[in-house]
Amino acid sequence: MFVGEIMKNKGAGVIAVAPDQTMVEVLRLFRDNNIGFVVVSRSNSKYLGTLSERDCCNAMAEYGAKAAAMRVADIMNRNVAMCSTQDLLPVAMGIMTQRRTRHVLVTDGGNVVGVVSIGDVVKHRLDEAQRTEQELQDYICGTRYH
C-alpha cells in the first residue's frame, strides 16, 4: 500500500501553529483536538518545523517550568521526517523506526499534504491482518469464493 492511500482514507491536512505561540498553548491544542503533533508554519504553504508531545517533554526536562512559556520556534524540531504519497508504507515505517519518531510529514509534489502516524500504520496493519484472517477462514470453510 502507498502512503497516499492512507492519506485518502484518513483525510489530508495538518494542524499548524505559529512559531510565536507558547508551548502551553500548543499543549492545550493537543488536548482539545486529541492529537500529539503539529506543523509549525508562518503560512499554509511554508512549514518551518514540527512540534510533538515528545518535543514538549524534552523541553520540560531541559528548561524546567519556564519551558511552558517558551515560544514554539525555540523548541520545535527543524529536522523533519518526511515521505511522499508515492512511497510504500514500509518506507514510512522505516523512517519512523530509523528516526525514532511517531509522525512523518507526507508530501505530494513538494507540498505537505498530511501526516502519517504510528497509529495510522497500526490501524492499516490490523485491518490487513483481519482481512487475511477472514480470507483464510473463508478458504478453509469453502465459502465466499468460486
Q: Check pLDDT > 80 for residue 146.
A: no
CATH number, domain containing residue 31: 3.10.580.10
Predicted pLDDT at 139? 86
- Please, how many CA atoms are within 13 Å of residue 35, restricted to the half-sphere of its CB? 19
Give residue for cell 490487513: 128
CB 88 within 8 A of CB 1: yes
Considering the domain boundaries, does residue 90 fall inside one?
Answer: yes
Considering the domain boundaries, does residue 83 fall inside one?
Answer: yes
Give residue for cell 491482518: 129
Considering the domain boundaries, does residue 69 fall inside one?
Answer: yes
Buried b vs exposed e over 96-112: b needs ≥16 C-beta within 10 Å? beeeebbbbbbbeeeeb
Structural domains counted in the chain: 1
pLDDT tens for 64-107 read 999 999 999 999 999 999 999 999 999 999 999 999 999 999 99
Q: What domain range includes position 9?
A: 3-141
Considering the domain boundaries, does residue 55 fall inside one?
Answer: yes
Considering the domain boundaries, does residue 146 fall inside one?
Answer: no
Predicted pLDDT at 124? 87
